[in-house]
Amino acid sequence: MFKIDRSKNILLIKKDGVVVRHLRFDGRVVAGMFTNFWGNIEANEVYLAKGCVVSGNIICRRAVIGAYTRFKSIIAQEDVFIQDRCVGYSVKAKNVRIASGSVIGVVEADESIIVDGASKLGRLNARRIVATEGKI
């Protein structure tokens, strides 16, 4: 289920994995599709694939959240990219980019929030908010 690459400082979690405790790793966490986290994730960088569920908070420097992922909250020091149709309570970061179809209660950014396509967002707070409609 877990694989650690010490030379590149990466923690890999296989597809359909279940992490039943809080996860703290000094490096990059990469989770496969449909992985469930029952606690918090604390890492330098967090990359979640499609369909993950995080019951706790994601605390990191940078995060990329895959499509159809459910999370409680994300607290990042730098950038957060949320892909299509994610559901979450809150996001706080320096820059936030949200793809279409996402449902998020509170989004706070120190600099900018970019919303690509139609999403349901509760409260937005940032210096610059850009909303675009992406068409194929």
**Dist CA 50 CA 78 (whole Å):** 22
Whether residue 3 is predicted with pLDDT greater than 90 in this model: the reply is no
Q: Please tell me the distance from the alpha carbon of residue 133 to that of residue 136, in angstroms, as a whole number.
A: 10
Q: Tens of pLDDT along 10-55?
A: 999 999 999 999 999 999 999 999 999 999 999 999 999 999 999 9
Q: How is 49-90 classified by DSSP, letter by letter? A: -TT-EEEEEEEESEEEE-TT-EEEEEEESSEEEE-TT-EEEE
DSSP state of 127: S
Tokens of 64: 């990329």
Q: Rounded to 5 degrees, what are φ and ψ at 135?
A: -120, 145
Q: How many domains does the chain have?
A: 1
Domain assignment of residue 18, given as a range: 2-132
| 134 pLDDT more than 80 | no
At residue 2, the pLDDT reads 83
Q: What is residue 81's predicted lDDT score, i.e. its pLDDT? A: 96
Cβ neighbours of residue 8 closer than 8 Å, sequence gap 6 or more: 28
Q: Looking at the DSSP assignment, which residues form a beta bridge with residue 130?
A: 114
Residue pair 65/74 in contact (Cβ under 8 Å)? The answer is yes
pTM of the model: 0.90
At 102 the three-state DSSP class reads coil
Hey, what are 78's tokens? 């730098």
